[in-house]
Structure 1
Amino acid sequence: MWVRSLVSFAPAPAPRWPMALQAALSMFVPVGLFTLLGHPSVGLMAASGAFTVIYVAWATPAQRIRILPVIGLALLVCAALGAVVAPWPAVAAIGLVVVAIVSSALHYGYRLGPPGPLFFVLVYGLATHVTAVVGGKRVVDPLLFLAAFAAGVAIAYLIAVVAAVIMHSVRRPDPDSVRRLPRTPSLDADSRALLVRVAIVAVLGTLLSVLLVDTARAYWTVCAGLAVIGVNAGRRAAFVRGNQRLVGTVVGAGLFAGLAFLPIPVWLLPFLLGGLQYVVEILVVRNYALALVFITPLVLIITSTAGAASGVVTTALILERVVDTLVGALLGAASGIVHPRRARVG
């Protein structure tokens, strides 16, 4: 069953190109702008703010205009927390667990849907990585990173606003089909099971990294696990979708390994990242395994080179990312055991 799911394509519930175009532009514009200004590494830091625009794709244009600033602010808070605790690896590891659990509780409680809480944890980890202390000083000034990230969020929101205005003028939503967020967060049985899985992955993934590997790599292990968990409840769904994510993430890490050794000119990077983001958004609702083949190198390019002093991706770094991905994805898939057999398939 799960093998077939790796190569099958589900029908898209709605045309995906508008969301894919917004996501691609939100990635392309900040990277391209800062590259033209002679600061490509700053552009990569700003590019992580583009994750704002991929949330609440189900919402009406008017709803997106209201909700996305809150999403962007939440992402910025996670980034700020990561930058604050970056000098203290032990504190950053504890913060990783706390951010994963709290952001997931709020995400599931407010029923935000795909892409899940992954990117809140990712930007926290990216902030700790980029602004870490090496040789007695920060790799990147925290204020520079947060300013670049905030610029990326603002650019993504402006693109979403323009798209919302255009879409609202073309097609008005049916009032009976409008979905509303709850006023206060609440967790049903499925959401509680997902939150337990997040806690398991966050705690075990962080402990394994701290005790056996490297504290600085814990965030990627946890993020790989969260990519597996997603927002699907039910034991059968957990293992089928978990295997999809496991295979897609590992293959995507291999694609990153291939791209890392290509002599990609700086001016091509905005097109590469924007193109990857577009493909991801087109595929994500049809075949998640295939989507992860492209989202994994996208995220790894950003996390591995944003703010890097040398900008060089080594073989050791690639192997580290592959190992961390494998461990996290296995933890995420195995955590599906917490769902009872009678649980609803999400």
Structure 2
Amino acid sequence: MQEKSIKKILEREIKNFFQVKQSTRLWHIPVLAALCIGTPLLVGLYFDSLKSGLLASLAGLVILYIPTSNSIVNRMTTLFICSFGFMISCFVGLIFSFNPLVSTIVFGIFSSIVFSINLYFKTKPPASFFFILIAALAGGMPHDIKSIPEKVGLIALGTILACTLALIYSLITKKKQEKKEGNLLPELQAKDKSSIIIESLMIGFFMFSSTLFGHLLKLQNPYWIPISCLAVMQGATLYHIWERVFHRILGTFLGLGLCWIVLSVTNTPLSICLTIITLQFIIEMLIVRHYALAVIFITPMTILLAEASNPLIQDPNLLIYTRLIDISIGSLIGAIGGWFIHHEKIRFYATNKLRNVKKSIQGK
């Protein structure tokens, strides 16, 4: 009986891995995302400032938060709020990067706050992911207080471009959206506030732990571990999390192979920029259809976006080896974190403890 159940599980997983889901997502969004990412890159390249272009293009990812079924006013309001969030994330990461321990503690607290806000307002995917990603990347940058306004300004410019393109897109597709309605903000989450607090604290703790682990290992870019950890922990269920671990590690392994090929071929800044744009378009076409396939392209895209100005990119073998270790460690920590979040006994115990603390405080 046990052999039959194991066989069924394996057959189901293999079937799920090769199954591409149907999606109603329009092709407009992948094109829009590619433009928001690509335009700052090409502008930065033209002015011989690829590093600045890369930071501004990262801010262009705010376009992924555009509500597809809302009115123009609601769309732009959502993007403006998210843009402001991107700038805060960058500022928090940069201002506390003077000390690894302080930066790690603040990053954990900030991640917990950001996650709780997104959970409370029921923000759709990518939810808190890119806010935490930007904070992680900024925290890994060398501390230079004089350059903080410039870097936050580049994030602002990237979001302004994304909002401008979103407005143009919304005006072009206005007639198709007139029959659809939406709220100014996403509807409130039905979850109990105690559950939101517990889940957010767990996210913050594992963001802190994964970043600290990266610093203890003396990794050059420790932010890759919490980013991978968060990508796995955002699974909707415990099964979904373990599925994501499997998909992410397998997809990452194949993606690193693709990245090695890309780095071997793309030896000019222009070719790197064009590759990032192409990869972003492919990712947005695949992410809602098949996570593992999308990860194959996410891996080289994120490496190029984060490391294009890093001298290490000139040594593809060392870069690929380093990223494989980082992402694998992060994914495994994320699986452990996901188990804690979705373990009913732990959640029930923690929620009861929190309620008892509240009652004792109110009683006083």
> What's the TM-score once normalised by structure 2's chain length?
0.81
Aligned to 2:5: none
Aligned to 2:120: 109
Match of 2:178 among 172, 195, 205: 172
Residue 208 in structure 1 maps to residue 213 in structure 2: yes
Aligned to 2:221: 217
Aligned to 2:50: 40
Counterpart amino acid of residue 338 in structure 2: G
Aligned to 2:305: 302
CA–CA separation in structure 1 for the residues paired with 2:13 and 2:111: 28
Would the aligned equivalents of 1:245 and 1:292 in 2 still touch at CA under 8 Å? Answer: yes
Aligned to 2:271: 268
Cα deviations across residues 77-119 of structure 1 (Å, max 9, x unaligned)?
Answer: 1101111122222211112212221111111111111113221
Aligned to 2:13: 2
Counterpart amino acid of residue 210 in structure 1: H
CA–CA separation in structure 1 for the residues paired with 2:189 and 2:176: 33
Would the aligned equivalents of 1:111 and 1:181 in 2 still touch at CA under 8 Å? Answer: no
Counterpart amino acid of residue 278 in structure 2: G
3-state secondary structure, aligned to 1:276: helix
Cα deviations across residues 198-247 of structure 1 (Å, max 9, x unaligned)?
Answer: 23531331232232343x533210010111122x4222222223322332
Counterpart amino acid of residue 268 in structure 1: S
Match of 1:290 among 281, 293, 316: 293
Q: CA deviation at 1:19?
A: 0.9
Q: CA deviation at 1:11?
A: 0.6
Counterpart amino acid of residue 87 in structure 1: F
Q: CA deviation at 1:23?
A: 0.4
3-state secondary structure, aligned to 2:140: helix
CA–CA separation in structure 1 for the residues paired with 2:230 and 2:84: 21
CA–CA separation in structure 1 for the residues paired with 2:160 and 2:208: 33
Q: Percent identity?
A: 21
The structure with the largest alpha-carbon Rg is: 2
Would the aligned equivalents of 1:24 and 1:275 in 2 still touch at CA under 8 Å? Answer: yes
Unaligned runs of 5+ in 1: none
CA–CA separation in structure 2 for the residues paired with 1:316 and 1:78: 30
Counterpart amino acid of residue 112 in structure 1: T
> What's the TM-score once normalised by structure 1's chain length?
0.85
Counterpart amino acid of residue 224 in structure 1: S
Aligned to 2:7: none
Q: CA deviation at 1:186?
A: 7.0
CA–CA separation in structure 2 for the residues paired with 1:59 and 1:6: 30
Q: CA deviation at 1:32?
A: 0.9
Would the aligned equivalents of 1:65 and 1:164 in 2 still touch at CA under 8 Å? Answer: no
Would the aligned equivalents of 1:305 and 1:312 in 2 still touch at CA under 8 Å? Answer: no
Match of 1:77 among 67, 80, 88: 88
Cα deviations across residues 143-177 of structure 1 (Å, max 9, x unaligned)?
Answer: 332222211111111111111111213342334xx
Q: CA deviation at 1:70?
A: 0.6
Would the aligned equivalents of 2:90 and 2:152 in 1 still touch at CA under 8 Å? Answer: yes
Aligned to 2:354: none
Residue 259 in structure 1 maps to residue 262 in structure 2: yes
CA–CA separation in structure 1 for the residues paired with 2:149 and 2:264: 31
Change (3 A) 1:174 1:47: closer
CA–CA separation in structure 2 for the residues paired with 1:268 and 1:321: 21
Cα deviations across residues 112-136 of structure 1 (Å, max 9, x unaligned)?
Answer: 1111322112111222334x05xxx
Residue 128 in structure 1 maps to residue 147 in structure 2: no
Match of 2:247 among 244, 247, 253: 244
CA–CA separation in structure 1 for the residues paired with 2:17 and 2:64: 23
Residue 100 in structure 1 maps to residue 111 in structure 2: yes
Q: CA deviation at 1:277?
A: 0.8
Residue 91 in structure 1 maps to residue 102 in structure 2: yes
Deviates more, 1:247-256 or 1:63-72: 247-256
Residue 26 in structure 1 maps to residue 29 in structure 2: no
Change (3 A) 1:141 1:257: farther
Counterpart amino acid of residue 143 in structure 1: P
CA–CA separation in structure 1 for the residues paired with 2:313 and 2:99: 24
Give RMSD over aligned pairs: 2.8
CA–CA separation in structure 2 for the residues paired with 1:82 and 1:143: 13
Residue 151 in structure 1 maps to residue 157 in structure 2: yes
Aligned to 1:162: 168
Aligned to 1:329: 331
Deviates more, 1:237-246 or 1:309-318: 309-318
Change (3 A) 1:270 1:210: closer
Counterpart amino acid of residue 13 in structure 2: W
Using CA pairs under 8 Å that are at least 6 residues apart, name the structure with larger relative contact order, 1 or 2.
1
Deviates more, 1:185-194 or 1:90-99: 185-194
Change (3 A) 1:139 1:41: farther
Residue 50 in structure 1 maps to residue 56 in structure 2: no
CA–CA separation in structure 1 for the residues paired with 2:140 and 2:86: 16
3-state secondary structure, aligned to 1:261: helix
Change (3 A) 1:102 1:59: farther
Would the aligned equivalents of 2:136 and 2:223 in 1 still touch at CA under 8 Å? Answer: yes
